[in-house]
């Protein structure tokens, strides 16, 4: 029997639909993603901690779910909103339905929602707190509770999702199209890299291994002294959730590393590097989430189509004289890349590993390896 569900936003707007996944209630910042595929990678991306993700593309669930496509061991998004949920997936890699996958992990979903209306509402009024409920509670009461819930600004979510102890990662990216029994040559691991886990995606580590890195993943609170004592060839600053300015001590730690070892940052790592340089970050109206964001490389004039997932951005005016802005978003002109050549450091706001998304920017992992080779 189909169960009714309600999505109530903090501004009083409500959407009715049908429940899928787990029953109950979930509260989080309601955001939207424009990707046409890759919902499992999106759900398991730790950057979605505390968020309810709305998929703008209408058909979801048609490839099911499988363990190989996870970016972490469980879904980090607290809820999911879709237009149409496929009950019978059709894909040779499927191990279970999306409905069963979310139910197994205790994540609440709502289907049958007019996601076009919802996305237009969020674009106009901004991302905001919402509640999905399968309980018999009035929509007005749910909106009241959503208004009372904490927002993303000032929230240090990265520390909570970071690993507790260091660990070594040496697994390259998978190739699901290899014939059974075939193996790719193992990469030669020439570079020892320290990766700060602010909520990193597994695929980032895999692409670092692909370019020859033996990666030691460390907690967000790992000190600069502890890093330098390991004598790494480079430091990687990963993605993660929440407000970059709220991550405890991260800016001071990175500031102490700049100039001493090559640094590469992605997404939250990019924002933290900007803060370490004395810059500022700010909350965006609805952010960038999807696999079709055009970014211009100002050093070459080339345009890349990129995967993105962020609700905060770097204030370019705050970095004048401190860093070179290397990339901009062609939709809204926001900062998408920074470089500090004298410190052998660079960062991008977007996701070169994609997962899901286009592969235009994967060369950046090789650029990091080249920077380490010359240090």
Query: Is 213 marked active-site?
Result: no
Q: Is 291 annotated as a binding residue?
A: no
Q: Is 47 annotated as a binding residue?
A: yes
Question: Do residues 330 and 286 make contact, with C-beta atoms less than 8 angstroms apart?
Answer: no
**What dihedral angle (degrees, nearest 10) is formed by the CA atoms of 189, 190, 196, 197?**
-10
Catalytic residue among 76, 233, 288, 351: 351
Tell me how far apart the terminal alpha carbons of the chain are, to the nearest angstrom: 63
Q: Is 277 annotated as a binding residue?
A: no
**If we measure between CA atoms, which residue out of 239, 307, 311, 298 comes closest to residue 272?**
239
Query: Is 163 marked active-site?
Result: no
How does DSSP assign 158-192, residue by residue?
A: HHHHS-SS-EEE-PPPP-TTSPTT--PPPPP--EE
By three-state DSSP, how is residue 130 classified?
A: strand
**If we measure between CA atoms, which residue out of 182, 190, 340, 321 comes closest to residue 265?**
340
Please tell me the distance from the alpha carbon of residue 178 to that of residue 231, in angstroms, as a whole number: 36
Query: Is 351 marked active-site?
Result: yes
Please tell me the distance from the alpha carbon of residue 214 to that of residue 233, in angstroms, as a whole number: 10
Q: Is 160 annotated as a binding residue?
A: no
Q: Is 242 annotated as a binding residue?
A: yes
Catalytic residue among 267, 288, 310, 336: 267
**If we measure between CA atoms, which residue out of 298, 291, 287, 311 comes closest to residue 358?**
291
Please tell me the distance from the alpha carbon of residue 367 to that of residue 262, in angstroms, as a whole number: 11
Helix axes 268-276, 250-257, angle to 10 degrees: 70
Bond prior to 179 in cis (omega within 30° of 0):
no
Q: Is 293 annotated as a binding residue?
A: no
Query: How many C-beta neighbours within 10 Å does residue 86 have?
Result: 17
Encode 234-249: b = buried (16+ Cβ within 10 Å), e = exposed. Answer: bbbbbbbbbbbbbbee
3-state SS of 252-273?
HHHHHHCCCCCEEEECHHHHHH
> Which positions are catalytic?
267, 351, 353
In the annotated binding site, the residues are 47, 240, 242, 268, 271, 309, 311-312
Binding site for L-glutamine: residue ranges? 47, 240, 242, 268, 271, 309, 311-312
């Amino acid at each position: 029997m189909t169960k009714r569900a309600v999505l109530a936003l903090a501004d009083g707007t409500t959407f009715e639909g049908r429940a899928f996944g787990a029953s109950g209630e979930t509260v989080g910042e309601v955001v939207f993603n424009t990707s046409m595929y890759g919902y499992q990678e999106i759900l398991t991306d730790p950057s979605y901690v505390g968020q309810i993700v709305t998929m703008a593309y209408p058909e979801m669930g048609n490839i099911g779910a499988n363990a190989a496509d996870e970016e972490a061991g469980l879904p980090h998004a607290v809820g999911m909103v879709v237009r149409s949920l496929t009950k019978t997936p059709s894909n040779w890699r499927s191990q279970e339905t999306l409905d069963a996958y979310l139910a197994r992990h205790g994540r609440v979903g709502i289907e049958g929602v007019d996601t076009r209306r919802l996305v237009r509402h969020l674009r106009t009024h901004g991302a905001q707190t919402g509640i999905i409920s399968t309980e018999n509670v009035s929509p007005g009461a749910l909106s009241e509770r959503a208004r009372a819930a904490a927002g993303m600004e000032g929230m240090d979510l990265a520390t909570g999702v970071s690993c507790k102890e260091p660990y070594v990662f040496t697994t390259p990216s998978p190739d699901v199209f290899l014939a059974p029994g075939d193996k790719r040559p193992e990469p030669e691991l020439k570079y020892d890299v320290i990766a700060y886990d602010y909520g990193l995606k597994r695929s980032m580590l895999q692409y670092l291994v692909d370019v020859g890195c033996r990666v030691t993943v460390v907690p967000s609170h790992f000190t600069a002294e502890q890093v330098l004592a390991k004598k790494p060839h480079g430091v990687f600053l990963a993605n993660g959730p929440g407000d970059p300015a709220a991550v405890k001590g991260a800016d001071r730690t990175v500031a102490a590393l700049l100039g001493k070892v090559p640094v590469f940052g992605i997404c939250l790592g990019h924002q933290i590097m900007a803060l370490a340089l004395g810059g500022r970050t700010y909350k965006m109206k609805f952010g960038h989430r999807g696999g079709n964001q055009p970014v211009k490389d100002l050093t070459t004039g080339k345009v890349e189509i990129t995967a993105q997932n962020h609700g905060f951005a770097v204030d370019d005016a705050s970095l004048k004289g401190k860093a070179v802005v290397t990339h901009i978003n062609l939709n809204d002109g926001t900062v998408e890349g920074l470089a500090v050549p004298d410190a052998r450091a660079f960062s991008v706001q977007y996701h070169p590993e994609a997962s899901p998304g286009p592969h235009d920017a994967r060369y950046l992992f090789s650029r990091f390896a080249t920077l380490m080779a010359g240090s």
